Amino acid sequence: MSVPQLTYSLPYAHLNLRRNPFGEFSADEQAALALVDIDPIIARMNEPGYAVQFVGEKGYGKTTHLLAIRSRLSGAGYVHIPEGERAPVPLGCPLLIDEAQRLTQWQQFQVFRSNTPLVLGTHRDFQQKLRRAGRVVETIEVEQRTDTERLHQLLNARIEWVRRCDGQVPSITITTADSLRQQYAANIRGILHHLYTAFQNLSEVTEL
C-alpha cells in the first residue's frame, strides 16, 4: 500500500516573501523603513526648551516619526501611553512622548516646563500650552507629509523588506498608490490594512 506524499509550502513562498508585508512590524522595523524628513529636527535636539509636536489622527504616521527620531538618538527617552492607562515619564534627553494627549495634567506641567528638548506625537495641539511654559514650539501636521510618491516608496519598501530570495516579488504601482491615497487620504494604517487583505488573497507575483 503506497503512502501519499504530503506537500508542505511556506506561507507567502509563492510570492517570494517571508510574510505579509503589510502586517505588524516591530518598532525597529518601523524606524528602519521610515521615509520621513527628520534631519532638521535632529539638528535642534540640543536646543534647551525646543519642542516639536507631530499632530494628526490615529494611523497617520506620528509614531513612525517618533521611532525614527529615537533610532538616531541613543540617549533619548521614549514612552507610548496606551489608551485608558497612565505611564511614567521616562528619563532621557530628548524626551519623546507618543500619544501625549494622554499625559496627566501634572505630567504636562512637569514635562512642558522643563528645559529638556521635547518630541510629542499627539492628537491634540499643545502649541499654546507649550509656549506659555516658555517653549520654542514647532508644529508638524503629519497628514501633509504623505504624498503619493512617498506612499509609493513606503509600500514597495515594505515588500522588499520581507523578500525571501532573489527573483520577482509583487509590487505596488504608482497608480495604485495614488488611488489608495485618494481613498484613505493620509491614513497609512487604513492603507496597510487594505493591502494586508489583498496580499492574503494574492495567488501569484504580480503588480497591484
pLDDT of the residue at 148:
96
pLDDT of residue 9: 66
Query: If pLDDT is split at 50, 70 and 90, which confidence band does 10 have?
Result: confident
- Asked if the model's pLDDT at residue 188 lies above 70, the reply is yes
Q: Give the CATH superfamily of 32-145.
A: P-loop containing nucleotide triphosphate hydrolases (3.40.50.300)
Is a pLDDT exceeding 90 seen at residue 83?
yes
Q: What percent of the chain has pLDDT over 90?
A: 92
Give, in degrees to the nearest 5, the angle at Cα 20 between 158 and 208: 70
What pLDDT does 126 receive?
98
Question: 7 pLDDT band (50/70/90 cuts)?
Answer: very low
pLDDT of 174 above 80? yes
Q: What was the pLDDT predicted at 145?
A: 86
- What pLDDT is attached to residue 8? 43
Q: Would you call 168 exposed, middle or buried from its count of C-beta atoms within 10 A (0-12, 13-18, 19+)?
A: exposed
User: Nearest-CA neighbor of 60 among 182, 143, 137?
Assistant: 143
Region 55-83: what's the mean pLDDT?
Answer: 96
pLDDT of 5 over the 50 cut? no
The pTM of the full predicted model, rounded to 2 decimals, is: 0.89
Mean pLDDT score across all residues of the chain: 94
Tell me the average pLDDT across 135-145.
94
CA–CA separation, 63 and 51 (whole Å): 16
